[in-house]
Amino acid sequence: MSTLNQPIAARFTPGERDYIRRELDMFFSTYPTVAEGFMIKTWRGGVDAGKPKLSPVAKGLIDRGLMRLDTGSRAPRLFFTAEGLAELRAMMTDRRFADPKKFQHIRQELGIDPAPES
C-alpha cells in the first residue's frame, strides 16, 4: 500500500487538531503534558452550575471515543483514551499536523523522540 493511501491522523478533524495543538502548546512558559489531560472550565451559574463547560470539539472527541471526561478531581479534565493516544501519536509523527520542534516535549513524552541526556 502506498503512503498516499494510508490515513495518518485522519481520525482527528482539522478543528480537533487545532484544539489539541492549542492545549499542548506552551502556556505561561510551562509545557503541558498529555498525562495531565486538558483542564475544562465549569459553569459558574444557572442550571448547569458546577458542570463541565465542553466545547463542540471536546464533545466530538468524547462522542467518538478518542477522549474521556474525568470529573473525579477538583477541576474536570479530558484525557486521551488508548485509541486517542494512538491517533495523537500518529498526529505528532506527521510534521504536516504538528511542528516537531514546537511539540518536542510531547514527542518525547509519547516516546517518538528520545529524551535529552543530562
DSSP codes, 60-93: HHHHTTSEEEE-SSSS-EEEE-HHHHHHHHHHHH
Name all domains of the chain by residue range, CATH numbers in brackets: 14-109 (1.10.10)
Predicted local confidence at residue 118, as pLDDT: 60
**pLDDT values of the chain reduced to their tens digit, one per residue, 118 residues:** 444 544 444 588 999 999 999 999 877 878 888 888 998 988 888 898 878 989 999 999 999 999 999 988 778 999 999 999 999 999 999 888 989 999 999 999 898 878 777 6
Q: What size, in residues, is the chain?
A: 118
Tell me the C-alpha distance between 53 and 42, whole Å.
5
The residues that bridge with 27 in the sheet, in sequence order, are 30
Please name the residue that has the C-alpha cell 541526556: 117
Are the C-beta atoms of 77 and 38 separated by less than 8 Å? yes
